Copies of this chain bind each other. A is one copy, B any other.
Amino acid sequence: MIAVIKQGTSEKQVENLIQWLNTQGVSTHISNGEYSTVLGLVGDTSKIDIELLENLEIIEKVKRISEPFKNANRKFHPDDTVIEVNGNKIGGGNFCFIAGPCSVESEEQILEVAKRVKAAGAAFLRGGAFKPRTSPYDFQGLQATGLELLMLAKRETGMPIVTEIMSTKHLPLFEDVDIIQVGARNMQNFELLKELGRTNKPILLKRGLANNLKELLMSAEYIMAGGNEKIILCERGIRTFETYTRNTLDVSAVPMLHELTHLPVVVDPSHASGLARLVKPMALSAAAAGADGLMIEVHNNPQKALCDGAQSLTPDQFDDVAKAVNTVREAIK
């Protein structure tokens, strides 16, 4: 961390600052220039509150050199984290498909989709029971009933379940869920993150629509600081000025996150574009960029889906995408 001292600051004031920093466990080096004096902070600066420092009268600005996240940082944990659920692994070279409908709608629907995606090679079944919708007048999910239908599908097919949580008060309902998803709009719902940090469930953490990778990693750090290190990061498209697609897939997030962190990174090509016909090229792109998994919306009757039908594949289309993805993964080995 670098702190630029304002012109006109007395030596005594700088001295005091240095002593205070030493008590915080960081040591300092000083560079005196014509226009500015620069203080280099050395040691574990991840726990220094940057705003507190910027705040001092004698400080012009502060810049971080090292990252403010620690548990999620590959520098301190060089080996890939591997998440394992019922023998299905994600990360460290293990690739998986997470597939299923946007929303759980009925027993028939979830069972049919589960069987089809399992047959096509999906390791995990996804399905929304609690749905975050922009309008209060849109379908909000089957909620507790939806979770029961997911458990039924799990018993019938043996597939572990991934589903989204929207409030800490629903946590008791998630006891048999295998991977708890935090949606994009809740990426910085810090109270939810803290609570999830006290569970021992794997968490699939989606990147917020206008959040950068550092913020995503800080949110992972919230969960990890509570003791839960089983986190899967998910790139699902960001908000840009483009209007033909719903969001814009940031495929460079995959190699960049692999460099910054040891946590596995999956991609959701369905939400990234919002268009079923773009799911295949985006899935291939993500695989080619080294994603550890793909989360894909599949519906037995997308025409009648209660939400996000426009971005859902049919089971036949998913078969085709899964095969193509495997071919690309083979090619880049």
Contacts and interface: CB of A to CB of B under 8 A. Distances in A.
Interface string A1-29: 01010000000000000000000000101
A290 interface: yes
Interface string A120-158: 000000000010111111110000000000000000000
Interface of A: 2, 4, 27, 29-36, 38, 40, 42-43, 46-47, 49, 51-52, 54-57, 61, 63, 65-66, 68-69, 75, 130, 132-139, 166-170, 185-186, 188-192, 194, 209-215, 218, 221-222, 225, 238-245, 248-256, 259-260, 272-273, 277-278, 281-282, 284-290, 302-310, 324, 327-328, 330-332
A305 B47 contact: no
Contact of A252 (B189, B245, B310): B245
A241 B210 contact: yes
The binding surface of chain A is classed by DSSP as mixed
A54 B308 CA distance: 9
Given A240-B238, A285-B289, A331-B327, A210 B210 contact: yes
Contacts of A277: 255, 259
